[in-house]
Amino acid sequence: MKRANTFEVVPQSDEDEELLRRLLDASAALWNEINYERRQNYTDPTGDVWGISEYRGRYGGILGSSTVQQIDRKNRESWKSFFALQKKGEANGKPGFWGNSEDGRELRTYIRNTSYSVEWGEYSRLEILVGKDLKDEYGLGHRERFRLEVRGEPNWKEYEKQGRLELYYDEQSGQFRAFQPVTISEDHSRLAHPLASEEAALDIGANNLVACTTTTGQQFLYEGRDLFKRFHETTREIARLQSLLEDSRYSSHRIRQLYDRRTKRRDHAQDALARDLIERLYDEGVSTVYVGDLTDVLETHWSVKTNEKTHSFWAFRAFVKRLMYTAEEYGMSVEVRSEAWTSQECPNCGSTEDTTRHRDTLTCPCGFEGHADLTASETFLRRHQNSKSSGWRTRRFASRQRQTTVTRSMARPVCLKWDDHNWSELPRSFRLNEEHTNPQVASVGR
């Protein structure tokens, strides 16, 4: 299983910091040259995006040939991702540059898994390979690696294999940081096992990020309006600053700072949401989580504004990946399934044509009124329970010909809101018609 360690990297002297900055700056310069050549080839009808010049002779003395290779490989991966998204109609621009010499480059590099080592203990340290020219200039031995202090406690000290190390300078915190992918065994002692065999279904939304219903009758709702508001405000400021740039400029130091801040805020909230939700589901005894596949929904039904939220802000695929990795630690599985029409289906009569959705409320002429996203997650869960064998235990959502009977009452939904650090439960309850949203027994016509 894939996991990651993140930690702070600390130069031990001013000379060490100078060496590290030169290493990262040369990596950014190399990335820009490779990317510029590929962008030129892309616009040339006879050009080959993958056919580029040899850069080891020019950059190998500073970076080392293996690091030159890794930056080229990372750039190739970015272009492959661009073409894959372009094929789906989701590409929002070719791979970009890592700053420029005038405004400052993004200090970043990638080190091959065999070209670095990390030792954890009282004096934790990171050793990386650098080019011969830097070794000679800074007095490193021929076989010596550049040594840096490491601060922070890793999530995974024991692993089967380490991946390519990403080393970068975080302008927001003023720190050098590292991201280390690792592979751990499935029988790792830290991995848990499900407490029972319950199930849960998630409805991924634009305003309410996640609505969840479990077969134990518990429901969770994660609000996202305030998060998106801040994201959108930052996006508007980025667009304003870009409009002020000269024609020959594509970015600035301030714009890169805003992009970085926006991304980190989003990722922090998503990581925390995945962790908080999986821990709550684990306590409920959930072993399987169903997540709706939004691919067709995004293409055919959702508004432009909603697409902005789900593609740029919410990043559905990235969130599901985080959810899967977190669920693995608890022995839980995540399955992506179709959720078509669940947000329009009335759980009382089964109608999808007569229902009306206004903001967070779903109403039906049959008399049903409930929270739209929570209702969708409940319908989604029932639908996939119905697809299972008829011998399913009656204490769950069981299939009986065309009727589905909920044999457990729904608990009052738990609503959570992001406070920049944690997902915290709100003290207030939902103002819903509990006769419909919290029934002792409800039927759904199929």
409-442 pLDDT, tens digit per residue, is 566 889 999 988 899 998 764 544 443 444 333 3
Note whether residue 237 is domain-resident: no
How many domains is the chain partitioned into structurally?
2
Parallel, antiparallel or unpaired: strands 423-425 and 414-418: antiparallel
Note whether residue 250 is domain-resident: no
φ, ψ for residue 95, nearest 5 deg? -50, 135
pLDDT at residue 152, rounded to an integer: 85
pLDDT cut 90: percent of the chain above it: 43
Of 128, 149, 183, the one marking the end of a domain is: 183
Residue appearing with tokens 């590099």? 109
Note whether residue 246 is domain-resident: no
pLDDT at residue 420, rounded to an integer: 82
Tell me the HSE value of 159 on the side-chain side, using a 13 A CA sphere. 21
Q: What average pLDDT does range 239-264 have in this prediction?
A: 84
Regarding whether 285 and 175 lie in a shared domain, the answer is: no
Regarding whether 214 and 140 lie in a shared domain, the answer is: no
Rounded distance between C-alpha atoms, residue 311 and residue 440, angstroms? 38
* Residue 363 Cα to chain centre, angstroms: 33
Each residue's pLDDT tens digit, 267-292? 889 899 999 999 999 999 999 999 98
Checking if the pLDDT of 386 tops 90, the result is no
Beta bridge partners of 148: 126
Rounded distance between C-alpha atoms, residue 63 and residue 133, angstroms? 9
pLDDT at residue 393, rounded to an integer: 37
| Residue (of 344, 17, 298) closest to 169 by Cα position | 17
Q: What average pLDDT does range 320-334 have in this prediction?
A: 89
pLDDT cut 70: percent of the chain above it: 84
Do 293 and 337 form a contact (C-beta atoms < 8 A)? yes
Q: What average pLDDT does range 311-317 have in this prediction?
A: 72
Note whether residue 89 is domain-resident: yes
Rounded distance between C-alpha atoms, residue 50 and residue 37, angstroms? 10
Instruction: Please report, as a single letter, which amino acid is at residue 161.
Output: K
Q: What average pLDDT does range 60-77 have in this prediction?
A: 96
Regarding whether 51 and 28 lie in a shared domain, the answer is: yes
Regarding whether 75 and 204 lie in a shared domain, the answer is: no
Distances in Å between the alpha carbon of 65 and those of 167, 202, 386?
A: 17, 46, 57
Q: What average pLDDT does range 33-41 have in this prediction?
A: 96
Note whether residue 140 is domain-resident: yes
pLDDT at residue 402, rounded to an integer: 33
Instruction: Please report, as a single letter, which amino acid is at residue 163.
Output: G
Of 183, 216, 235, the one marking the end of a domain is: 183
Regarding whether 148 and 7 lie in a shared domain, the answer is: yes
Regarding whether 205 and 101 lie in a shared domain, the answer is: no
Note whether residue 359 is domain-resident: yes
Mean per-residue pLDDT of the chain: 83
Regarding whether 153 and 14 lie in a shared domain, the answer is: yes
Note whether residue 94 is domain-resident: yes
pLDDT at residue 144, rounded to an integer: 94
Checking if the pLDDT of 446 tops 50, the result is no
Rounded distance between C-alpha atoms, residue 36 and residue 97, angstroms? 8
Name the pLDDT band for 401 (thresholds 50, 70, 90). very low
Each residue's pLDDT tens digit, 202-235? 988 778 889 999 999 999 999 988 888 888 899 8
Q: What average pLDDT does range 136-157 have in this prediction?
A: 91
Radius of gyration of the chain from its Cα atoms, rounded to whole angstroms: 26
Regarding whether 283 and 205 lie in a shared domain, the answer is: yes
Structural domain of 41: 2-183
Rounded distance between C-alpha atoms, residue 185 and residue 1, angstroms? 6
Note whether residue 234 is domain-resident: no
Regarding whether 159 and 79 lie in a shared domain, the answer is: yes
Regarding whether 275 and 412 lie in a shared domain, the answer is: yes
Regarding whether 143 and 218 lie in a shared domain, the answer is: no
Regarding whether 438 and 292 lie in a shared domain, the answer is: yes
Q: What average pLDDT does range 178-188 have in this prediction?
A: 84
Instruction: Please report, as a single letter, which amino acid is at residue 291.
Output: V
pLDDT at residue 434, rounded to an integer: 42
Of 129, 154, 183, the one marking the end of a domain is: 183
